[in-house]
Chain A
Amino acid sequence: AQKVTQAQTEISVVEKEDVTLDCVYETRDTTYYLFWYKQPPSGELVFLIRRNSFDEQNEISGRYSWNFQKSTSSFNFTITASQVVDSAVYFCALKGWRNFGNEKLTFGTGTRLTIIP
């Protein structure tokens, strides 16, 4: 069985502060993908990143960075110098790669991030 845990239900920070969203996952698959999606108030989830399990290199994209630690089964997301537009619900998700045709994403329960101006 696969499971994604986002223990932080809600986080509030003051604008320009850095904030890290935690994601811990469980899977028996040896190869898998990890994702982060952003859900702004409009409701449409927006893809942020995909990471393969065999690539542990951390990634930075502008103010966003991701820290993948296979040893602790974590895929944390950091926003540097937060802005009000970062306010949204953020979802971490997992997909196993056991065989072609497994299209099911397992999502965490999300973290609601509020940036206070």
Chain B
Amino acid sequence: GAGVSQSPSNKVTEKGKDVELRCDPISGHTALYWYRQSLGQGLEFLIYFQGNSAPDKSGLPSDRFSAERTGGSVSTLTIQRTQQEDSAVYLCASRKTLDRSNEKLFFGSGTQLSVL
């Protein structure tokens, strides 16, 4: 696609439910990133993928969070047993390669997650 696409744009869920957030990166981009933006906070790194592998998962807040990427394209971020503190905007970004000469990330519009 022309840009990074995320769905849904808004998600309201009840505490304790599981949610899946989807990211469709720019076609041909090998690197994919998930960030979380909480109210009044900066962006917090969660995980990144190179192809289907996740070399760095260090930002995932707890074992309730997981992510996968298939076919070197679409990625899904899953949050199990959601808690109110999970409420945030979840942003996905992609990058063509991990070449140091090209550090430009392309971001999606995010998924606003609200846990009631």
Contacts and interface: CB of A to CB of B under 8 A. Distances in A.
A110 interface: yes
Interface stretch (B14-22, B39-47, B61-69, B70-78): B39-47
Interface in A6-39: 6, 33, 35, 37
Interface stretch (A60-68, A71-79, A80-88, A101-109): A101-109
A11 to B, nearest CB: 16
Contacts of A47: 104-106
Nearest to B105: A47
B37 to A, nearest CB: 9
A113 interface: no
28 contacts: A4-B42, A33-B103, A37-B107, A43-B89, A43-B91, A44-B4, A44-B107, A44-B108, A45-B93, A45-B107, A47-B105, A50-B104, A100-B98, A103-B31, A103-B98, A104-B48, A104-B56, A104-B58, A104-B59, A105-B35, A105-B43, A105-B45, A105-B105, A106-B42, A107-B42, A107-B43, A107-B44, A109-B42
B28 interface: no
Interface residues of B, number: 29
A110 B42 contact: yes
Contact of B41 (A42, A43, A93, A109): A109
